[in-house]
Amino acid sequence: MKSAVLVFPGINRERDMARTLRLISGQEPAMVWHADTALPAGTDLVVIPGGFSYGDYLRCGAIAARAPIMNAVREHAARGGLVLGVCNGFQILCETGLLPGVLMRNAALKFICKDVYLRVERSDTPFTCGYNAGQVIRVPVAHGEGNYVADAATVAALEAGGRVAYRYCAPDGALDPAWNVNGAINSIAGILNERGNVLGLMPHPENHVESSIGPTDGRGLFAGLVQHFAKAA
């Protein structure tokens, strides 16, 4: 799996992401600067990491979404290439229009930095095939604007199309407002585009991959991606 991690000014999770990609895929990811206009040839997976691109000025992800490299990312997605946006990466994907909706200020107004439980809604996508459908995983969140919002028609289309890949849940997998940390509509933590090749996810699976620092529930997402490309080859 040949991956490329985008780097914008103000992004701060790119090295965590690169470390995880290296650890799980066994291949060194390319670090791609925002002002570049092309992705490395043969890129399978583009990853937009978390952080605070451009200091979250204007709106989270708004300025990064208009960076030169994003045209190449749009073309990559249009060719069916995979794109994963985590946290600020999810916000950037919404701002580019590659994913619908928007991530608003957390309902309780506070920045949230803690472990959450996610229910994996389906296992038949490249971004979830490392898990079983219905499986509950524990991964961290660290965001102030993760409250997913979209109009009723968009939410209905996401649900009808099985495009909600991950939801915030209780440890037993039940949907419960008390465990929906940021107030996201329908407890949405991660969504797919219509074609299923772009995933935006607020939590950080890349931070739970090594037993020396805690749980390893995040490995499945990356192991699944590696497995997806191994099968395709």
Cα separation, 49 vs 204, whole angstroms: 9
Beta strands 198-201; 82-86: pairing state:
parallel
Q: Between 14 and 145, whose beta carbon lies closer to other proteins?
A: 145
Q: How far is the CB of 58 from other proteins (least distance, A)?
A: 7
Contacts of 209 (CB under 8 A, 6+ apart): 20, 23, 24, 216, 218, 219, 222
Contacts of 180 (CB under 8 A, 6+ apart): 168, 187
* Placement of tokens 């470390």 in the chain: 19
Q: How far is the CB of 190 from other proteins (least distance, A)?
A: 18
Q: Of the residues 76, 143, 204, 228, which is catalytic?
A: 204
The contact set with other proteins (CB under 8 A) reads 58-59, 62-63, 66, 94-95, 100-102, 104-109, 147, 149-151
Cα separation, 106 vs 181, whole angstroms: 8
Q: How far is the CB of 153 from other proteins (least distance, A)?
A: 12
Q: How far is the CB of 188 from other proteins (least distance, A)?
A: 15
206 is catalytic: yes
Q: Of the residues 14, 95, 121, 206, which is catalytic?
A: 206
Q: Of the residues 87, 94, 129, 169, which is catalytic?
A: 87
Q: Count other C-beta atoms under 10 Å from residue 141's C-beta.
A: 24
Q: Between 104 and 112, whose beta carbon lies closer to other proteins?
A: 104
204 is catalytic: yes
Cα separation, 216 vs 56, whole angstroms: 29
Q: How far is the CB of 61 from other proteins (least distance, A)?
A: 10
Q: Between 58 and 174, whose beta carbon lies closer to other proteins?
A: 58
Cα separation, 138 vs 225, whole angstroms: 19
Q: Between 54 and 131, whose beta carbon lies closer to other proteins?
A: 54
Q: Between 55 and 171, whose beta carbon lies closer to other proteins?
A: 55
Helices (H), 167-218: none
- Helix (H/G/I), strand (E/B), else coil: 188: strand
Cα atoms in the Cβ-side hemisphere of radius 13 Å centred on 184:
30
* Residues taking part in catalysis: 87, 204, 206
